[in-house]
Structure 1
Amino acid sequence: MTTTAALPQELEIGLVQIRVSNLERSLTFYQNVIGLKILRQQGREVEMTADGVHVLLVLREIEQAQILRRNSAAGLYHFAILLPDRPSLGLVLRNLIDSGIEIGQGDHLVSEALYLQDPDNNGIELYRDRPRDTWKYDAAGGVVMTTDPVDVDGLLAASEGLTWTGLPAGTVIGHVHFHVGDLAEAKKFYVDALGFAITTRYGDAALFISAGGYHHHMGLNIWAGQGAKAAPANAAGIDYFTLLLPASADVSEVAERVKQAGYRVEVEGGITTVKDPWNIGIRLLVKG
């Protein structure tokens, strides 16, 4: 499935910045349960990393933050941390079991995934991809995905004898997934203007999109309800995520396309940010 306005095939998701209500509590969670490390802190913002070099997650504490009910507003459904291999995901599972946290799970054919919530109900997925040459496609060229039970015993066996030391080098943000208020409007922004391609649909309730043939860099759903309003700015949730593009010319091209489509484009300190219809920020950056 294609789109006329295409993003570069080399596109990657960069870091995600989220709002939290209690920085110390969140740092304990993201270090001990998720396995990230503190890279640097400035005031009430902390950058977190897996490899000690690349920032994957930024936590920003806001005063008297609302903690929203799950699936109650347009905004973050989850951000997804991609592990480099199956033994690494098995170690994550072992650590999550030891932590006693509630874990969801799903085998999506293209990937195996674990799901949980942070203390502010920000959704998190931890997953590993199956090799691309094993993915299946439907008659229209869409990636075939489903939700089956994960082979938990197989994951644990894959990590047998290994020691948990946190998320390994090679861990990245694989995709982001949002509640939106209207799928048609989301398609206008993310596909027609921004330039993602549709990879698969879940009926009339969810849309998955990507660049370069990945199964999905983004998920968009109306599970918070048709017409769901944007999460309040003083609530826990997402500030922005970054798209890493090959060259500055790509940033200019994407920003101009979004602007011409009538959406907000802001440039501050040399950083270009576009806003989706539900006030989710997307920073357009050049790789490296």
Structure 2
Amino acid sequence: MMNLTNIKLGAVTLRVNDLETMKAYYERVIGMDVLETSEHRVTLGTKEMALVVLHEVSGVRPNPRTAGLFHMAILLPNRVELGRILRHLIEQRIEVGQGDHLVSEAFYLSDPEGNGIELYADRPREQWEYEANGHVKMSTDPVEYESMLEAAADRPFTGLPNGTTMGHVHFKVRSLEAAKLFYQNRLGFKVTTDSYPGALFLAADGYHHHIGANVWARPSQPMGQEAGLEAWTLLVDTATNRELGGTTSEWSLTDDDGITVNIKSVD
């Protein structure tokens, strides 16, 4: 079993019904720039990297019975930047959930077609704590957001800053055992914590998690062609690409839940 290293996550592709409404949301609410457009596809992100691709398929609807995206997690460079976007969301009267996960502080919302979004900032790695078995300690506690807003008080939000990345992706799956086989044994991610009931977290490079999987919604079907997640992107170096079995610089794998990863060699 390989040990995945030196990776990044790229853009998440969403299959959407109303491209204009979704594009406006990711621009105005989330603060992304439009990077590329075509007749049925819009790529958004920062000037440095693509974060979301919206693929319009007329008439698609979500199916709550299928596996798929729980949320995509956009990682801000620091706590002040997270405070800036939180203030912006409050001003826009956008309702958010929250969670202090010990390793990070996060806010949760959904786009107009129900796709989950996490906006978060990591705590410094030297502050992370670990269980006796080496798993990272994580929790879900209230965020101390007042000091975050205070730190960002004189910094109006002007869009996602450079340095923002796709921090992790979290999926609704039918089986944690099957998810572990795919993400650990096939892709080479390492389990970082399994202490949350009904959930599993995996990562590369000592991170707290690049992949989350849960069975909380008890999906009964694999993903199909419904609205929602179409694919996520794993960026690797050439050596890792070969180790994974890639014979071209861009290729794809699909897990038992129909969740597709586009693997791209970037060096």
TM-score (norm 1): 0.89
1:6 to 3, 8, 29: 3
1:65 aligned to which of 51, 60, 69: 60
Q: 1:283: Cα distance to partner?
A: 1.3
RMSD: 1.5
Quote the residue 1:232 is aligned against. Answer: 224
Name 2:235's counterpart in structure 1: 244
Q: 1:270 to 1:7 in 2, by over 3 A?
A: closer
Q: Is 1:164 the counterpart of 2:157 in the alignment?
A: yes
How much does 1:204 deviate? 4.5
2:185 and 2:62 map into 1 onto residues whose CA distance is 33
1:284 is aligned, of 257, 260, 263, to 263
5+ unaligned residues in a row in structure 1: which ranges? 257-266
Alpha carbons of structure 1 residues 202 and 20: separation in structure 2 relative to 1, 3 Å: farther
Partner of 1:34, secondary structure, is coil
2:250·2:265 contact (CA, 8 Å) conserved in 1?
Answer: no
1:31 counterpart = 2:23: no
The within-5 A match list for 1:169-248 is: 169-225=162-218, 228-233=220-225, 235-247=226-238
Match of 2:136 in 1: 143
CA 203–35 in structure 1, closer or farther in 2 if over 3 Å, else same: closer
Check whether the contact 1:110–1:130 (CA below 8 A) recurs between aligned residues: yes
Letter in 2 for 1:239: E
Shift in Å at residue 189 of structure 1?
A: 0.8
Equivalent residue number for residue 253 of structure 2: 274
8 Å contact from structure 1 (residues 177, 220) kept in 2: yes
CA distance in 1, matches of 2:156, 2:2: 45
3-state SS in 2 of match to 1:93: helix
Residues 1:41 and 2:31 are matched in the alignment: no
Task: Note if contact 1:255-1:274 (Cα within 8 Å) is conserved in structure 2.
Answer: no
**Alpha-carbon distance change, 112 to 203 in structure 1, aligned in 2, over 3 angstroms:** closer
> 1:87 matched to which residue of 2?
80
Deviation at 1:203, TM superposition (A): 4.4
Q: Cα distance, 1:286 vs. partner?
A: 1.6
Q: Quote the Cα distance in structure 2 between the aligned partners of 1:53 and 1:89.
A: 18
SS in 2 for 1:189: helix
Equivalence map 1:68-147=2 (5 Å):
68-69=63-64, 72-147=65-140
TM-score by length of 2: 0.96
Mark the runs of 5 or more structure 2 residues left unpaired by the alignment.
none
**1:166-209 deviations in whole A, cap 9, x for unaligned?**
10010000000000000111111111121110000134400000
> C-alpha distance in 2, partners of 1:76/1:171?
20
Counterpart pick for 2:243 among 253, 269, 277: 253
CA distance in structure 2 between the partners assigned to 1:236 and 1:172 by the alignment: 24
